Structure 1
Amino acid sequence: MMKHLLTTLLFVTPLALGAPTARAATCDRDFLKAQAASYVAAQKAGTPSLLTNSSSSSGSTISYTQNFKTATLTTGILSTPLRIDHNRSIYDTTQCATYTELISTEPNKQHVIGTQLRFSPETLTLSKIETIVTSKGDWLFDPSATLMYSFQESSQGLWDDIPLAKRDTRAVIQAAGDAYLDLFNNKSVKVPWGTPCARLEGGTYIQPSCNVGVPSGIRNVNRRYVVDEVVGTVDVFFDFAGAEPDSHEFRVEGGRLRLVHTMTVMK
C-alpha cells in the first residue's frame, strides 16, 4: 500500500501540486518608476542601451522622435552624455506611460528636455519615445533660471503626492489642461484658474496668476497626454500654433490649475 502511494506521488504533475505560475505583467507605479530611472541613467551616460524593457538597444523596433521629427537613438540627444542637475517624472498607469523633465546647466550642453515614454500594456516593452529638447535660441530658454524656480516650488523640486481623498480624476486633470490650451484659440473657454498659480515658461516665472500673457488665434493641435492622478498632473505634447514642438505640464489641485511648466522649440 505504501509503495503504491509513493509511486502515485512521483507522477503527480507540478500543476496538481499547485506549482507557481508566471505572474501576469502589470504596469504599476513601481514598474514605471524603474523605467523612468533607467531613462535618466541612459541620458546621463549617453548610452541608449541602458534603457530597460526595450526590445532592441539599437532602437530598431522603437518609435523615436526628437522635436517631433523621426530620429534614431544612436544619433539623438540620448547618445550625448549630460550632467543632469534635476529630473522629475510622472507615471500614467492607465496608458502605461511616463513623462520626465530634465534640466542640464552643463557648459556647452545646456538643455531643458521633456520626454514621454510609452510601453506596450501587454508585454511592458518600450514602444515609443518622444523627446522635446530645448536649447539656446528656444522660447525664453534659461536652464539656470528653470532649475532655480523648480526648486523653489517644492522640496527638491518634486511635486508632492496629493492625498487620496483629495485627488481629482484623470478626466478632470486632462480637462483642465485642455481648457488652458483651448483658450489660445477660443477666449470663451472657461479655464479653472487656481489661486495662486505659477507658470514656469522657459526660464521666466509668472505668478501669482497664470491668466497672464495668453495669446490669441493660436491652435494647439495633435495632443498626446501623460496623466498622473497621484500628483494631479498632466503633460501634453502638441504642435504649438500647428508648427512648434511644445510641452505643457499642468499641476491640478481640487480641479484647479496651480502650476504650469512649458517648453517650446523655436524652429
Structure 2
Amino acid sequence: MFRLTTALLWALAPAATLAARCQWSHMQDATDAYLESQTSGKPYAMFLSDKVVYRENNRVISPTVGIITKPLAIAHQHRLYDQDGCATYTEQIVTDPKNPYVIGTQLHFDQLAGGVNVTGIDSIVTTTGDWLFNASKTLSHVLKENWDTIDSDSRADRATLKAIADLYLDLWGNEKSRVPWGMPCDRLEGSAYTGNGSATDSCAVGIPTGPQPPVTDRRYVIDESVGSVSVLCTMGTMRNAPDSHEFRVENGRLRYVHTMTVMRNETALPRMSRVRRTVKIHG
C-alpha cells in the first residue's frame, strides 16, 4: 500500500540518475497511489503538480477537471511496467451502472534518488456512447484471458514487441503490413470480442482494406515480462478519435488485442462501416 510519506520524500528528493532502468517497486508504489487517487477522487498532490503533463483523450488539460478527480469503483485493473521507458500502463474497468468506464492510463516518470517523480499522466477514457462500449461485457471477456508472466527464455525483446505493435497499427495506411497473427488470437474492441474460445480464433477479421488514414501520435509502454505493449494514439480512420491499443505477444505472434476508442455518440462512420459489417463478434 502506498504511503503519503513516501510521496513526500519523492517530491523533496533531488533529481539524480542512478541507473538506466527505473525500479519496478518505485513504479508500483506510484501506480498504487494513482489508483488510490482515482478510487477516492482526491488525487495526491504529486499528481496535481504544475510540472505534471496531464493528458486526457489526447488533450492536455488541468488534472483538476480530469477523470482523476471523479471517484470510481474499479472492478478490475491490470498493469504493465516498463522499466527501460520509466512508465506504466493500467487498464481499469468500472462496471457501476451509473458511472461505467473503461480507462487506459500511462504514467510517465523521471528517476529520483529515492524513487520516481511523476512527469505525465496520459489517459484514454471511454464510457457510455463510445465505440462498442459496455463495461460489464468487457469485464466478462477480460476475466477469461491469461496475461500471466512469460518465461524468461520465451519472451520477445523490447524492440520486437514494439515492432509487432507497429505492424498491426500500420495496417491503417498500409494494408500490406505483415502482422505476425497468432492462432488463436482474440481481439477485444470496446466490448465486442472476435473470439469464441476455439483454436481458430483470429484477430485478422474486420481489419480494413484499401486506403485508410494512418494511426498517429503513438505513445508506448512496453513490458517484456508479460509480452505486452500499450499504445495510446489517434485513430485517423475513425475521425481522429483518441484510441488505446494493448497487445499481448506469445511465441512471437499476437495473442490478444484490447482496443478502446473515444467515439462519444457517433452514429455515422462511413470509412469504417464497410469493414465492420464483416466482423463476426461475440458480445
Does TM, normalized by the shorter one, top 0.5? yes
1:198-213 alignment, distance < 5 Å: 198-207=186-195, 208-213=201-206
Contact 2:17 2:111 in 1 (8 A): no
Residues 1:177 and 2:165 are matched in the alignment: yes
Larger mean CA deviation between 96-105 and 184-193 belongs to 184-193
C-alpha distance in 1, partners of 2:83/2:194?
31
* Structure whose alpha-carbon radius of gyration is higher: 1
| Identity fraction in percent | 45
Q: What is the aligned counterpart of 1:131 among 79, 99, 123?
A: 123
Q: What is the aligned counterpart of 2:217 among 219, 222, 234?
A: 222
**Match of 1:34, SS?**
helix
Partner AA of 2:179 in structure 1: V
C-alpha distance in 2, partners of 1:43/1:215?
36
1:1-267 alignment, distance < 5 Å: 24=18, 27-49=22-44, 54=46, 58-121=48-111, 124-154=116-146, 159-207=147-195, 208-216=201-209, 217-241=212-236, 243-266=240-263
TM-score using structure 2 length: 0.80
Deviation of 1:246 (Å): 0.4
| Residues 1:177 and 1:24: Cα distance change in structure 2 (over 3 Å) | closer
Partner AA of 1:42 in structure 2: S
Partner AA of 2:119 in structure 1: S
**Match of 1:196, SS?**
coil
Deviation of 1:47 (Å): 1.3
Partner AA of 1:247 in structure 2: S
**Match of 2:137, SS?**
helix
C-alpha distance in 2, partners of 1:132/1:182?
20
C-alpha distance in 2, partners of 1:257/1:190?
12
C-alpha distance in 2, partners of 1:27/1:172?
21
Contact 1:198 1:210 in 2 (8 A): yes
TM-score using structure 1 length: 0.85
C-alpha distance in 2, partners of 1:142/1:227?
27
**Match of 2:143, SS?**
helix
**Match of 2:226, SS?**
coil
Deviation of 1:122 (Å): 5.1
Structure 2: stretches of 5+ with no match in the other structure: 1-15, 196-200, 265-283
C-alpha distance in 2, partners of 1:24/1:220?
35
Structure 1: stretches of 5+ with no match in the other structure: 1-21
Contact 1:59 1:72 in 2 (8 A): no
Contact 1:195 1:209 in 2 (8 A): yes
**Match of 1:200, SS?**
strand
Deviation of 1:94 (Å): 0.3
Query: Which deviations, in whole Å up to 9, do the C-alpha atoms of 1:187-221 show, x marking residues without a partner?
Result: 11110001100001100111210001012413101
Higher relative contact order (CA 8 A, sep 6+): 2
